[in-house]
Amino acid sequence: MNILIDGRPANVADLGHFVLSNYGAFTSMQVEDGGVRGLDLHLARLHAEAVELFGVAVPEVRLRERMRQALNGQSGRFSLRVNLFSDAVSLRAPDALVEPRVLTTLSPFACPLSTPLRLQTQVYEREVPHLKHSATFGLTRARRQAALAGFDDALFIDANGWISEGSIWNIGFVRGETVVWPEAPMLLGTGQALLQRVMAGLGLSSVTHPLRLADLADFDAALICNSATPACAVASINGHRFGPAEALTSRLIDAWRSNPCQAI
C-alpha cells in the first residue's frame, strides 16, 4: 500500500488530522494500465464532494495529476482510493472555505465478488447518504453484525421501510428483462451508473422505483454492484431466496466491460 498526500509520501504530521477527523469524502476505483472505467463519474463525484463539504473544488487537472503520481508510471491493475480532507476544517473551526487536500492510496486490485450473497436487512441510513463520505463507522458495524449473525453482508432499510443500499454496494432487482433499482436516500454508485449505460444494448430496461421487503416476491433475482464488482447475484435476503442469476450476471459483467477505460 502506498499513501501520498498532495503527491508526496505521507508523514506523521500530514496524517495527524486525517486520522483524528473523519470530516471528508472519497471515491474508490479500479485502475487498468493507467485507465479507469467511469473515470468521469469518479471525477464528478470528487467535484461535488469538495464543493459541498469544503466550498471549493479541486481542479480536475490537479486531481488527475495526484492520481498519476499515485501510480508513479506503473502499468497493471490496481485499486486507487482518493480522499479529500482539510486540516483547516475542525470542530473548533468548522467554517473554513478551502480547497481540500488530496490523499491517494494505491493498493492491490480488488477481486470482484462472485459467490451469491446472503444478506441480512438492517434498519439504517447513512448520514448524508448521497455523499461517499469518510464516516464509515456505521457501515463497518452493519457488516460486522451481519457476519456475526451468519450472513455475508447487510442490506439497509430506512425508518419508513424502504429498501435503499448495501454496506458498500447498490442493489438491483430483476423481473424478466427489467432491473429495478430502489428509490430512497442513498449513494448512487459508479458501478450502477456504468451498468445503466450499457443495459439497453443487452435488451434490458432499467428503472428506479420505491421498494419494500414485501415486494421481494415480485422478482426473479437480485444482484449487487460497485466499482470493484460489476455484478454479483444475491442468494437470499433474510429468509427470502432468489432464483439463480448466473446467466444474467455474466451478461452484465460482459456489458460492463464494454465501457471503455478512460485514461487518467
pLDDT at residue 128, as a whole number: 96
Q: What is the pLDDT of residues 136-169, one digit of tens each?
A: 999 999 999 999 999 999 999 999 999 999 999 9
Contacts of 180 (CB under 8 A, 6+ apart): 172, 173, 174, 207, 208, 209, 211, 219
Question: Residue 83: pLDDT band by 50, 70, 90 thresholds?
Answer: very high
Residue-wise pLDDT tens digits, 193-223 = 999 999 988 889 999 999 999 999 999 999 9
Q: What tens digit of pLDDT does each residue of 249-258 get?
A: 999 999 899 9
pLDDT above 90: residue 185? yes
Query: Per-residue pLDDT averaged across 40-68, rounded?
Result: 98
Mean pLDDT of 68-79: 96
Question: Is pTM, for the whole model, over 0.85?
Answer: yes
Looking at residue 171, its pLDDT comes to 98
CATH number of 117-258: 3.20.10.10
Residue 162's region, left for phi above 0, alpha for psi from -120 to 50, else beta, is beta
CATH no. of 2-108: 3.30.470.10
Burial of 99 (0-12, 13-18, 19+ CB in 10 A): middle
Domain residue spans of the chain: 2-108, 117-258
Q: How confident is the model at residue 19 (pLDDT cuts 50, 70, 90)?
A: confident
